[in-house]
Chain A
Amino acid sequence: NAGVTQTPKFRILKIGQSMTLQCTQDMNHNYMYWYRQDPGMGLKLIYYSVGAGITDKGEVPNGYNVSRSTTEDFPLRLELAAPSQTSVYFCASRPGAGGRSGELFFGEGSRLTVL
């Protein structure tokens, strides 16, 4: 059981470039999230999804887009990379009900540097 898989693990972008961070989960979780982690700032929610075809903004959505065409996949797109988007990005998922409801399962993270 792979859990939550993120790719790539590392990426360097130039200002203005675009890229997509991939996230896949094999636990059939309805809820999926994208967070960014900056030193001393904790985790900030970028976007989330409650199921295929449904997405919504979190605290810091500017500069990002998401889609959720399947239950398994929740890619995060950066259209015009800026230095302020240098961060570590985490994808997470959780079940909607049952004993483990509320617990988030995290991927290993994607470290993005924008120069």
Chain B
Amino acid sequence: AQSVAQPEDQVNVAEGNPLTVKCTYSVSGNPYLFWYVQYPNRGLQFLLKYITGDNLVKGSYGFEAEFNKSQTSFHLKKPSALVSDSALYFCAVRDDPGTASKLTFGTGTRLQVTL
């Protein structure tokens, strides 16, 4: 069975500082990894994904994520946080993007960026 762990319920960072939101995963085959963001009272929005290729993936709004196979991690990063980045972030995994296999989500990490 596939699973995702987001060890931090909340991450606090000052605007302008770099941010990292952690994610580790477990799958039986090759992992296909995703980050989604949820703003208050909205649905989830896709940020970025890793399917294959470069371990550093760039996505929307200046976010990037680093895939580390040996550590089974896919941490979300941004060099300089903005107050508007404050939201709930979900990591998700599946073992094949092209089939009906389902996406498993982590429990979410709330990012709070302050002035």
- With a cutoff of 8 Å between Cβ atoms, the chain B residues found around residue A109 in the complex are 41-43
Name the residue on B nearest A109 (C-beta). B43
- Interface residue count for B (Cβ, 8 Å)? 23
Binding site for B on A (CB under 8 A): 4, 31, 33, 35, 40-43, 45, 48, 50, 56, 58, 90, 92, 96-97, 101-109
Q: Does B69 contact A (CB under 8 A)?
A: no
Contact of B34 with A31 in the complex, beta carbons under 8 Å: no
Contact of A103 with B41 in the complex, beta carbons under 8 Å: no
Q: CA separation between A107 and B97, bound complex, in Å?
A: 20
- With a cutoff of 8 Å between Cβ atoms, the chain B residues found around residue A103 in the complex are 34, 46, 49
Q: CA separation between A96 and B98, bound complex, in Å?
A: 6
Q: With both chains docked as a complex, state the minimum distance between the C-beta of A55 and any C-beta of chain B, in angstroms.
A: 11
Q: What string of 1s and 0s marks CB contacts (under 8 Å) between B62-104 and chain A?
A: 0000000000000000000000000000100010011010110
Name the residue on A nearest B46 (C-beta). A103
Contact of A42 with B98 in the complex, beta carbons under 8 Å: no
19 A-B contacts (beta carbon < 8 Å): A4-B43, A31-B100, A35-B105, A40-B9, A42-B90, A42-B107, A43-B90, A45-B102, A50-B100, A101-B98, A102-B49, A102-B51, A102-B97, A102-B103, A103-B49, A104-B44, A106-B43, A106-B45, A109-B41
